[in-house]
Amino acid sequence: MFALLSVAAFDNPRLAHADSSTGPAILVLGDSLSAEYGIPRGTGWVELLRARLASEGRAHRVVNASISGETTSGGRARIDALLAAHRPDIVILELGGNDALRGLNLNASAENLRDITARSRRAGAKVLLLGMQVPPNYGRAYSQRFAGIYEEVARREGAVRVPFFLTGVAERIELFQSDRIHPTEAAQPILLENVWPALRRLLDTVPARKPA
């Protein structure tokens, strides 16, 4: 089984969930995989990240600006306001799956990801790009092109890349909800572990800016 992303609306797109810390910010810009779709609030990988940071004594606050159904164009439309409001040190960019699900133009998707990454870097943030893949029934050429977008954007824009966000989850049907699309609560620690090594390296090498 291979995960696809939902196109259903879930949260108010103008809102971003942030914790109460006043430390430097990590901004998560994603879709249903990061917006706790279909699982209890407080159990998603972003919430687990907050707990991990606290357990390591890191003062970073996490701003979750993820929306179920979000596309790269939607993220591009929102990024400037989010950067201005939160001044993140790190942006975790988890978008693109809904573009593939809707059959959107991959060149446009790549350009959107490049622009989000470039704007984030100009604002002083490092970018962690979470790679996605699509099922083989999309066709080999399309699947390869889609996966290659993330490598291309990371290389051109100087972002750090996680090759496949759903490693260890995508092939396990028991880790998906009854819709066979969205990961369960049990899958969330695996998603965090896929992100954490690359994020930890960024945390250890990026000097934290003072919050506004």
* 179 classed as catalytic: yes
User: Choosing from 11, 60, 89, 182, which is the catalytic residue?
Assistant: 182
Q: With beta carbons less than 8 A apart as the criterion, state whether 26 and 92 touch.
A: yes
Element counts in the chain: helices (H) and strands (E): 6, 6
* SS percent in the chain: helix, strand, coil, step 5: 45, 15, 45
Residues counted in the chain: 212
The residue ranges of DSSP E strands in 9-149, in sequence order, are 17-18, 25-30, 61-64, 90-94, 126-130
* Active-site option among 32, 34, 73, 120: 32
Active site amino acids: 32, 179, 182
